[in-house]
Amino acid sequence: MASERDVFELSGPLHLTSVDWTDVDHRRSVAACMVQGVYIMQRDRQENRHGSQALAPSWWKFSNFDLQSQLIDDADSSIFGAIYKYKPDPLPNYTVSTNSIPSYIVAFRGTITKGDAFSRDLELDLHFVKNVLHQSSRFEIANQAVRNLVASGNQNIWLTGHSLGAAMAMLAGKNMAKNRVFLESHLFNPPFVSAPIETIKNKKVKHGLRIAGSFVTAGLAVAVKMKNNHHQRNNEFLELAEWVPCLYVNPRDHICSEYIGYFGHRVKMGNIGAGGVERLAAQHSIAGLFMDAIGKESHEPLHLIPSANLTVNLKRARDLKEAHGIHQWWRRDQQLESRTYR
């Protein structure tokens, strides 16, 4: 039996009777629904729901999108992503610039805990923790799909994803940004590999730990600066600065909440005259620097970025499941606070 949360008419953004593409709340809601569409496509597949019984199409049709193609994992044949194409309204609102409407949206789902996709999703979660998600065949499929869209001359492309899917979208967006193609990106509950410092309630202790961490990380970065690829990595990180993805996080979600401290701490370090230390520390992970220090190959931290528009949901979630869920991002009764960091 289908979950009530899978049914658009029961849990979708029914308040969006029409989409105002100049409204940031509408844009966020549409992006989140595209991700939900991928989740439901995979659940439709698992439950053998086809044709009129399929629940997924309602999640993209309400905003005038058609499904152009599914992205299929070659390891388990699960649906992990989708490319949606905008279908212009026959009675368009000419007061809205078409530049504000995405021609295509590429969406990626996160981990599904039930069914035959779980073991593969869990494997890729571990790939992310180990900083090698970019080496997986699933990401190669995702990245190639984005590259093909861009190569076809389409620049008005959105990337969006939730949890593991947000990590996939972030990686694809970073690759495009390194080629000077800056795609609008909406990343929901993107994972951040770090000790959960943001969960500490004592602000002085939290701030003290972050300061200590910054000086340790920056010190390690200086210690290994003679490595052949070190300066190249610094340059690659700075080249991403013009790409400003939209990140959506919940403070009670320890999977993504460290982005709050990651960006907020930069401002505090600047206020105490240690901005240079933090700019260096923000580019590196201690684990990666340690690997460099002992002569083993390490990879650029997948989750670290120089710029972002960070939106925090301040409404208290009942539990981790709600705090990490995709549904919160199209609901009207949220307390959202946004800030752009560059």
| 8 Å CB contact between 28 and 34 | no
62: left (phi over 0), alpha (psi -120 to 50) or beta: alpha
Residue in the block written with tokens 């105490």: 272
Q: Is residue 126 part of a domain?
A: yes
Q: Is residue 99 part of a domain?
A: yes
| Partners of 70 in the β-ladder | 82
| 8 Å CB contact between 95 and 113 | no
Rounded Cα distance, 1 and 332, in Å: 27
| 8 Å CB contact between 16 and 58 | no
| 8 Å CB contact between 144 and 152 | no
3: left (phi over 0), alpha (psi -120 to 50) or beta: beta
Rounded Cα distance, 27 and 64, in Å: 13
Q: Is residue 127 part of a domain?
A: yes
**Per-residue pLDDT for the chain (342 aa), expressed as one digit of tens each?**
678 889 999 999 999 999 999 999 999 999 999 999 999 999 999 999 999 999 999 999 999 999 999 999 999 999 999 999 999 876 655 455 667 899 999 999 999 988 889 999 999 999 998 889 999 999 999 999 999 999 998 879 999 999 999 999 999 999 999 999 999 999 999 999 876 676 777 777 766 666 666 666 656 666 666 454 555 556 778 889 999 999 999 999 999 999 999 998 777 777 777 666 666 666 766 555 555 555 555 567 888 899 999 999 999 888 989 999 999 999 988 999 999 998
pLDDT recorded at residue 239: 85
Nearest CA-CA partner of 249 in 262, 238, 239: 262
Nearest CA-CA partner of 76 in 108, 122, 33, 44: 122
The tally of domains found in the chain comes to: 1
Sign of CA dihedral 223, 228, 234, 237: negative
Task: Write down the pTM of the prediction.
Answer: 0.88
Q: How many residues does the chain have?
A: 342
| 8 Å CB contact between 86 and 102 | yes
| 8 Å CB contact between 186 and 108 | no
pLDDT 10s digits, 9-61 = 999 999 999 999 999 999 999 999 999 999 999 999 999 999 999 999 999 99
Cα-Cα end-to-end distance for the chain = 46
Q: Is residue 18 part of a domain?
A: yes
Q: Is residue 268 part of a domain?
A: no
Q: Is residue 139 part of a domain?
A: yes
Q: Is residue 26 part of a domain?
A: yes
Q: Is residue 62 part of a domain?
A: yes
Domain residues for 129? 4-188
